[in-house]
């Protein structure tokens, strides 16, 4: 288990992370969504042991990560900007990794490069951005890490490669019991692959949980009450959003669907329909409720 406890990180007077805690289990993919400048990259660097937290701790199986070579050998951080040795090939990068990471698997690297059509003996600097991303992912997976931290890792990949790498990542996470973290802006991608998600805003984790539970906790409801109603009629339901078009009322509500249906039935609706919300819609709701991009 990777445990993040009450992390705080400042850069001068700017607070990047504030009282942030997480527990991440083996065999699960955690998706971290956030607004621009929310602190996603900073959090990943703290989790990987690259940055020291000002307060709090990061533990892998109860052992601190920072300044702990044994723990760091089990963690792979894939930056949003891939970095390689000057003029190095994938094969040369692999040999360098083998000197520092005892779980590196050269045969696995060859297999991944073959699968994703990567030339192992050409200079990586000559690759396109998308091909460099593919090289970074293959090199990272060949380390056989316990923890894989991905920062906008799929950006720059074409749709076919994105899908292929997502399938490989899912299978690796299940087969090897990886602790996988994906940070990014692509809510649909998170919804496709993640077991749980968290929303980061201004350095704070504003909410997190099992993906299915989060998707099942917020509902969009369309209904036509039997009698005329006012906005005050819906006040007991504490709607996150309320819109009206004539007699049609559209509400966004939080809570158990069955209980909400029972309560709304008291309005004797002539028509009532529950519609699912996407992860993107829930993210927008949470951010707007915190005043993000509101004027």
Range of the domain at 274: 214-289
Question: Are residues 137 and 237 located together in one domain of the fold?
Answer: no
Domain boundary among 157, 179, 202: 202
Question: Are residues 141 and 30 located together in one domain of the fold?
Answer: yes
Is residue 36 very low, low, confident or very high in pLDDT (cuts 50, 70, 90)?
Answer: confident
pLDDT of amino acid 292: 63
Is residue 213 very low, low, confident or very high in pLDDT (cuts 50, 70, 90)?
Answer: confident
pLDDT of amino acid 286: 83
pLDDT of amino acid 295: 44
Q: Which CATH number do you get for residue 222?
A: 3.30.70
Question: Are residues 174 and 264 located together in one domain of the fold?
Answer: no
Summarised one tens digit per residue, pLDDT across range 86-118 is 999 999 999 999 999 999 999 999 999 999 999
Q: Which token pair is 28?
A: 């699960």
Summarised one tens digit per residue, pLDDT across range 148-160 is 999 988 888 899 9
- Which of the residue ranges 11-25, 48-62, 271-285 would you say has the lowest mean pLDDT? 271-285
Query: Where are the alpha helices (H) located in 177-278, listed in sequence order?
Result: 187-193, 211-217, 257-264
How many domains does one find in the chain? 2
Question: Are residues 81 and 117 located together in one domain of the fold?
Answer: yes
Q: What is the pTM of this model?
A: 0.88
Is residue 293 very low, low, confident or very high in pLDDT (cuts 50, 70, 90)?
Answer: low
Domain boundary among 202, 223, 254: 202
Beta strands in the chain (DSSP E): 2-11, 14-24, 28-34, 55-60, 63-64, 75-78, 147-151, 179-184, 196-201, 204-210, 218-224, 241-245, 248-254, 271-275
């Amino acid at each position: 288990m990777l445990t993040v406890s009450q992390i705080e990180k400042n850069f001068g007077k700017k607070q990047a992370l504030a009282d942030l805690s997480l527990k991440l289990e083996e065999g699960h993919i955690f998706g971290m969504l956030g607004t621009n400048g929310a602190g996603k990259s900073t959090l990943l660097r703290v989790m990987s042991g690259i940055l020291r937290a000002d307060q709090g701790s990061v533990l892998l199986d109860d052992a601190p990560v920072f300044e702990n070579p044994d723990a760091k050998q089990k963690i792979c951080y894939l930056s949003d900007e891939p970095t390689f040795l000057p003029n190095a090939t994938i094969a040369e990068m692999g040999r360098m990794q083998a000197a520092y990471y005892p779980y590196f698997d050269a045969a696995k690297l060859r297999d991944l490069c073959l699968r994703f059509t990567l030339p192992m003996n050409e200079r990586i600097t000559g690759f396109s951005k998308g091909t460099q991303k593919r090289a970074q992912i293959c090199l990272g997976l060949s380390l056989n890490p316990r923890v894989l931290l991905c920062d906008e890792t799929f950006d720059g990949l074409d749709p076919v490669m994105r899908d292929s790498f997502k399938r490989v990542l899912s299978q690796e996470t299940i087969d090897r019991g990886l602790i996988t973290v994906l940070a990014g802006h692509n809510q649909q991608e998170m919804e496709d692959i993640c077991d749980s998600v968290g929303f980061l805003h201004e350095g704070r984790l504003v909410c997190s949980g099992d993906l299915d539970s989060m998707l099942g906790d917020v509902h969009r409801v369309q209904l036509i009450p039997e009698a005329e109603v006012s906005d005050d009629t819906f006040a007991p339901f504490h709607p996150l959003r309320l819109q009206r078009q004539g007699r049609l009322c559209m509400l966004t509500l939080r809570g158990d669907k069955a209980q909400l249906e029972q309560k709304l039935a008291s309005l004797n609706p002539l028509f009532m329909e529950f519609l699912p919300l996407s992860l993107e819609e829930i993210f927008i709701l949470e951010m707007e409720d915190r005043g993000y991009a509101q004027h």
